[in-house]
Amino acid sequence: GFIKVMDFGIARAAKDAATRVSMTNTIIGTPPYMAPEAERGEIRKEGDVFALAACAYEMLCGKPAFSGAGMLMNKIEMAYIAPTQSVPSLPAGIDEVIRRGLEADPAKRFRTAGEFVKALEGLSA
Q: What pLDDT shows up at residue 119?
A: 97
Question: Long-range pairs for 54-58 at CB < 8 Å and ≥24 separation?
Answer: 54/101, 54/102, 56/98, 56/101, 56/116, 56/120, 57/83, 57/98, 57/102, 58/32
Domain assignment present for 102 = yes
Domain assignment present for 11 = no
Domain assignment present for 12 = no
Determine which of 17-21, 39-43, 68-72 has the lowest per-residue pLDDT on average. Answer: 17-21
Domain assignment present for 64 = yes
Q: Per residue in 76-107, pLDDT tens?
A: 999 999 999 999 999 989 999 999 999 999 99
What is the domain-level CATH number for residue 58? Answer: 1.10.510.10
| Percentage of residues in the chain having pLDDT higher than 90 | 66
Domain assignment present for 22 = no
- What pTM was computed for the model? 0.79
Domain assignment present for 1 = no
Domain that holds residue 42: 31-123
Q: What pLDDT shows up at residue 60?
A: 96
Specify the number of domains making up the chain: 1
CA distances from 74 to 11, 81, 82, 85, 115 (A): 25, 11, 13, 17, 25
